[in-house]
Amino acid sequence: MTAEKDFVSSRDKVGVLLQYQKAWVADRATIKLAEKSRRIGLSWAEASDDTLYAAETNGDDVWYIGYNKDMALEFISDCANWARFYNLAAGEMEEVVIDDEDKDILSYRIKFASGKRITALSSRPTNLRGKQGRVVLDEAAFHESLHELLKAAIALTMWGGQVRIISTHNGDENAFNELINEVRAGKKPFSLHRITLDDALEQGLYKRICEVLKRDWSPEGQDAWKQELIDFYGECADEELHVIPSRGSGVYLPRVLVESCMDTDIPVLRWSCTREFTFQPDLIRQAEANDWCEENLLPLLKKLDPKRLHYFGEDFGRTGDLTVIMPRAELPGLVYPAPFVVELRNVPFKQQEQVLFYIVDRLPRFMAGAMDARGNGQYLAEVAAQKYGQKISQVMISTEWYREVMPKYKAAFEDRTIRLPRDADILDDHRAVKMEKGVARVPESFKGKGKDGGKRHGDAAIAGAMSEFAIRSEPYQKPEYEKVEGRKMQGAGAY
């Protein structure tokens, strides 16, 4: 125990690490895993240890493999900050070009006076060939080839290397959870750590946050902060915060992937109507809808670049789920951000038509739109096609449509050619997409609830996929999908 305390002390000069972070750093197992809650700073603690490991004369190289480039930049930046904190002789963080077989990838590296380095790699398993030292797999559950990546990483241990595997969960059938279960069953002799949000809070996480932000800590403030996180993650809180993998095949669009393509400056415009509004005279409904459009939509529509092509996707809902309208603009580099997203709840048919036309009439160089034409959505899709002609695809969503479109939509996130609002409901909608019999779709049985307490059924994800379908399809020559599957149509907006 004394040796362990001395070791931790050398890596925590002023007690900046919390107890669960110290326990992770102190664990000298050749291969260790952590199943954890989000936002608890375990990767930051790993960076503290990796910095000393690479700086020591008897240390070695560190190879960091995160889920995307942003994670790589953040981790290497953390290592550079730790090097300054420890007053180590190290170079500045530098950008490097890594040969990734079929393309060159821009990544990051920091070198130490020991001659060792910390380098970020892509998740291609072959990139670990010929390497030696410590491998850090961050957010391991979200790597597509985790089995192959693990084999390549563990091979380094034959010559004295080490492996650190850190992740939140991504479904109970994910390769990461399978590995966790094998360790628990005694089939793998690896070290295992489990850290929930409650564990982190009990060991001082929120107190440390208050110290950094110069806030006063209180039990009430901690409870409110915790509840805010739980509310943000909604029905995904068990998996994201309490380290309970979700049942099923796992989420098709991981949170870290969707969040990497979200911006705080993209607004979500929400209009909800009462049942009584439906039976107001036509002139009153028209006037109120026009006032809403003039106040909320017009300022944003005026900001659109008249030189850029524009598209939109729509998912329909009436009395149950939402109608979501998602415009997309084509920017240089073939990036297609959503300038805004509109959500309509319990809005009468004619006013949905009014809002849709108000938007599309003002989209500069409008090229194509794709609309949900199932059930009651057929009305809105039909009147849009009557007005805008073959620019409108009236889509009867089917298994074949999901099979063709969802991989393309996921690729937009992976290639970062889409930008969405940083909004909890929109994030939850995208996490509702699951693999069913080899096809990514929103399950028929899925029942979501928005932050307003209303029903959601992956509506924003479907509207986004519709927008991607509109962008990728040749104008005026889009295929038709007539077979209706996936949602039960037992009334207006029902699934």
- What DSSP letter does each residue of 201-248 carry, written as one string? HHTTHHHHHHHHHT----HHHHHHHHHHHHHHHGGGHHHHTS--PPSS
Identify the H or E element spanning 475. none
pLDDT of residue 3: 38
447: helix, strand or coil: coil
| Segment 177-203, tens digit of pLDDT | 889 888 887 888 999 999 999 999 999
User: Which residues, at least 6 apart from 258, have a Cβ–Cβ distance to it below 8 Å?
Assistant: 413, 420, 427, 430, 431
Residues for the chain: how many in total?
495
- The answer, yes or no, to whether residue 207 has pLDDT greater than 70, is yes
d(CA 144, CA 350): 45
Average pLDDT rounded to a whole number, residues 315-341: 93
d(CA 173, CA 170): 8
- The answer, yes or no, to whether residue 9 has pLDDT greater than 90, is no
73: helix, strand or coil: helix
Half-sphere CA count of 488, side-chain side, radius 13 A: 4
Could you tell me the CA-to-CA distances from 145 to 106, 275, 356 in Å, in that order?
21, 50, 42
The model's pTM is 0.60
| Segment 269-323, tens digit of pLDDT | 999 999 999 999 999 999 999 999 999 999 999 999 999 999 999 999 987 779 9
Calculate Rg over the CA atoms of the chain: 25
Average pLDDT rounded to a whole number, residues 238-263: 86
pLDDT of residue 485: 35
- The answer, yes or no, to whether residue 87 has pLDDT greater than 90, is no
pLDDT of residue 447: 78
